[in-house]
Amino acid sequence: MDRIRNFSIIAHIDHGKSTLADRLIQATDVVNERDFKDQILDTMDIERERGITIKSQTIRLPYKAKDGKEYVLNLIDTPGHADFTYEVSRALASCEGVLLVIDASQGVEAQTLANLYLAMEHDLEIIPVINKIDLPSADIDRVMGQIDEDLGLDPDKTVCVSAKEGTGVPELLEAIVTHLPPPKGDPDAPLKALIFDSHYDPFRGTIVHFRVFHGTLNKGDTIKFMYNSSSYKVEETGFFQIQRIPKKSLSAGEVGYIIAGIKTVSDTRCGDTITLKSAPCDKPMPGFKEAKPVVFSSIYPVASDDYPDLTIALEKLKLNDASLTYEKDSSAALGFGFRCGFLGLLHLEVVQERLEREFDLSLLLTAPSVQYRINMSDGDTMIVDNPALYPDPTLIDSSEEPYIKAAIIVPDRYMGAVMKLCLDRRGNNLGYQYLTANRMEMTFELPLAEVIYDFYDKLKSVTQGYGSFDYEITGYKPSSLVKVDILINGDRVDALSMLVHKDNAVFRARHACDKLQDEIPRQMFKIAIQGAIGGTIIARKTISAYRKDVTAKCYGGDISRKRKLLEKQKKGKKRMKMIGNVEIPQSAFLAVLKTDDE
């Protein structure tokens, strides 16, 4: 066991985690040059297209140190985006140490701090790594100062590398075997292993990723999941080296996978403990805190026949993405679907894209919302995340909405722009502090509903990409909420309803009406699009009718001949309007979600 090192790479977005993982993989000759490709651990199409990591990936690297000893390094590459912090915390539970990567030109940013605290919570050994030292704007001395002052880590342990060019990678591998502790555990104790991830393989069933803490697991053993006491016989166990490499047994300290013919997706839970059925361990491991969804949206199949396929797809995706929650939902306009909870707007986009690509589904999403707390006049309290469940306003005593504490790290020249952005979003400035001579951390209290919409994109725009943002949910505060309904020709479209703050109601209703006016095709009669709160209309747009020139064949003669034809047309249109039903195209539902500058 003293020759094993389990470690993770953590950092802010775009500081070079996946590229560094590539260099470590190349340095240990796990993949031959012909099969190698950049960001080799980002296996999903959507990860490669967007250039972000979404899923943590594990790989086992054999390494021969300078002292001639052979080591096994289990590397777990993690995401950097705030929406996927849950992935990072799961990866850290199976490690003894981390490499904290910091960009030599950008320095310490919001997620760097957030991930450092996560690593400290798990009591891990931390090696600071300064990456991108080949950039012309790299300032290693300044970053060394930040590591000492902002992070409180030892700058002497810091390793400087360029993941792009491979500089400093041999020194980093030596630092990993020297500074990171080996795993602790007893290979002869009863088996105790922690599930930190799993994915579904159509040919082999569920493949569970796990870390053994005590005991040994052999092929052919009968295992038991402690969460629901279901037991299975192990068909195959092994470790990841890009492909799955089978191995007869895995013992304490090792990270690997297990295939046991698990057909029901719901049996494997992240954070569950695996033990042997014949000799179980005394108690399960603490597992992970449940991820709490903060953004809610309903997902509907475009064709109602696809509903069973959507059900199966969500089950399989839930296995791979433990932070996704969903329950059944239905709408008069869109039929049956699911109300889903996400960790943020990027998470929502990624889930939508994965469902459409991996399971070949066409989907519609409703406007994202958060969980509001409604206090009724009779003393009851309701949690509402779906506008359809909003109670009668006359029965409501007060309403509360969730607030977050946001830490925004920016160069001080953008202070005014960030201040304006946050105050426009009903934010409250809690203070600021200078981290270095020209970089500052600003702290705001903001309503979560204002942040999920497009706050992160706007922040990146006003700070020219230099702003970094991290948040934690602080609790509920009183708020005046209203439900905005969208009416089309007087009919309420429930899928377009939204819960908003009273001050934003008119703006959001006008925005929705404008978008729908562009998307809904013209008819032979006028179409009124209205935004309403209860019975009060607060916004309106009209789609004018096609006008057929009925007087074309009537040339010359008395004006009354023309008027007679126009009157006849008017009667026909009036009758048509009574039975006129407006079809809303799918693009209209999506257009309402988009902001103006898109």
Binding site listing: 14-19, 131-134
CA distance from start to end of the chain: 54
Q: Which residues contact 313 (CB under 8 A, 6 or more apart)?
A: 355, 358, 359, 361
3-state SS assignment for residue 449: helix
Nearest to 482 by CA among 330, 592, 372, 353: 372
3-state SS assignment for residue 188: coil
Pair 501, 552: CB distance under 8 Å = no
Pair 495, 334: CB distance under 8 Å = yes
Q: Return the beta strands (E) in 167-235 as ranges.
A: 192-201, 205-214, 216-218, 222-225, 231-233
Q: Which residues are annotated as a binding site for GTP?
A: 14-19, 131-134
**Counts for the chain of helices (H) and strands (E), in that order:** 13, 31
Structure tokens at 409: 């790290």
H helices within 360-438, ranges in order? 415-424
Pair 498, 453: CB distance under 8 Å = no
Going 515 to 593 to 354 to 36, the CA torsion angle's sign is positive
Q: Which residues contact 569 (CB under 8 A, 6 or more apart)?
A: 548, 550
What is the DSSP code string of 96-145?
A: SEEEEEEETTTBS-HHHHHHHHHHHHTT-EEEEEEE-TTSTT--HHHHHH
* Alpha-carbon span 460 to 22, nearest angstrom: 28
Going 383 to 386 to 387 to 390, the CA torsion angle's sign is negative
State the virtual CA torsion across 74, 80, 86, 92 in degrees, nearest 10.
30
Return the half-sphere exposure (C-beta side, CA atoms, 13 A cut-off) of residue 501: 16
Quote the crossing angle between the two packed helices 345-358 and 307-320, to the nearest 10°: 120
Going 63 to 115 to 54 to 464, the CA torsion angle's sign is negative
Pair 517, 543: CB distance under 8 Å = yes
